[in-house]
Structure 1
Amino acid sequence: MPHDRNLQDLITVFPKLISYVLSFIYIGIYWNNHHHLLQGVFKVNAKCYG
C-alpha cells in the first residue's frame, strides 16, 4: 500500500502490484488446467505400469 494518496506513490509500488496480479493469474491458469486434466480421470489406483 502506498503511504500517500497521490499518483507518484502508486507508481512506485506498481511493479509489486503487477507481480502480485500476475501470480494470481498464473495460479488460476494452473488450477484450471489441473481441473480440466482431472475431469477425464475415472479411477485412481496404486498400480504401477512399466
Structure 2
Amino acid sequence: MNKKITKITKRIVEIHEESGKHYGARQKSIISLKEEGYKVSLKRVQRLMQ
C-alpha cells in the first residue's frame, strides 16, 4: 500500500508543477486522480501543494 500512496503523491506533485503551481490545480488534481481510479481528499491535495 505504501507504493500506491507514493505513486498518488508523485502524481499530485506532477499535476501541480504542470499547472504552473496555480491554485486551480487542486481541483484538477482531484478530477484527474478520480479518472485514474484513485480517491483523494481535497485536504491531502492542499497539504501537498503548499
TM range (shorter): 0.3 to 0.5
- Which has the larger Rg? 1
TM-score, with structure 2 as normaliser: 0.40
Higher RCO structure (Cα 8 Å, ≥6 apart): 2
**Which structure: greater helix fraction?**
2
